[in-house]
Amino acid sequence: RLARLVQFKKKDREDSTMKLGIYGAGGLGREVLVLAQIIEENQKRWSDIYFIDDVNPGRELKGVPVLDFDTAKKIENIEIVIAVGEPRIRVLLAEKVKSAELTLATLIHPDIRLTACTSIGNGVVLCKNAFLSCDVILGDNVFLQPTSSLGHDVVVGENSIISTFVTLGANCQIRSGTFIGMSASVKEGTIIGDNTIISMGSIVMKNIENDVIALGNPARVMRRNEGNGVFH
């Protein structure tokens, strides 16, 4: 059924005028495409979907056209979701989208049920089985991978990534541009600073400062996050 959706035939979506640009054509971009296909199947939200890749445009990926940003931004009624796993690049791409006066698209898996007291910013992505308890706040351009779990009153700052199987206890604060790696657990009431990386499998028992990389059980700061990047 999803293979049929890859073709994005307009005749199946005659009532939709919106288009979606997935900014990022790597592994995460392909995952976001699958999520978008599921949303489209349920909501008939977009008439066309594109990948956006400024390095290698002018091709097709998974049957979807790949455009550069300058081409994509000229498409009428296009909204854009950021599909890059590096928080620092998420910041740059989100600023680029906003400077072009385009909308950051929010993608929420249809199986997710949010409470009325949940606050979600623009450009947020919630993948399958992500769980948000009550009074959770997510800033703009936050990405929650599948099966991540956020306790009550958790706050996640803009441009942050919460990876698969991460558990954030109640009242945690994850500041802006931070990356929490797979299967990490964060004790309730803990604050993790801006532009910080928590490595996969870490158990965070106390506050972690800005601009550092922490890992282990219990998690300890190993060094400064000087390159401000996760995947290098």
Residues 108-215: name the CATH superfamily: Hexapeptide repeat proteins (2.160.10.10)
Residue range(s) in the chain whose domain bears CATH number 2.160.10.10: 108-215
Q: Which CATH fold would you assign to the domain 2-105?
A: Rossmann fold (3.40.50)
Residue range(s) in the chain whose domain bears CATH number 3.40.50.20: 2-105
Whether the CA torsion 118, 92, 22, 162 is positive or negative: it is negative
Report pLDDT for 230.
76
pTM, two decimal places: 0.90
Report pLDDT for 16.
65
Report pLDDT for 228.
66
Whether the CA torsion 182, 52, 20, 4 is positive or negative: it is negative
**Per-residue confidence band for 7, with pLDDT thresholds at 50, 70 and 90:** very low
Q: How many CB atoms are closer than 10 A to CB 45? A: 18
Report pLDDT for 78.
98
Report pLDDT for 168.
98
What is the rounded average pLDDT of the residues 73-101?
A: 97
Segment 109-154, tens digit of pLDDT: 999 999 999 999 999 999 999 999 999 999 999 999 999 999 999 9
For the chain, give the mean pLDDT.
92
User: Which has the higher per-residue pLDDT, 15 or 189?
Assistant: 189
- One-character DSSP codes across 9-64: -GGG-TT---EEEEE--SHHHHHHHHHHHHHHHHH---SEEEEE-SSS-SEEETTE
Rg (alpha carbons) of the chain, rounded to whole number: 18
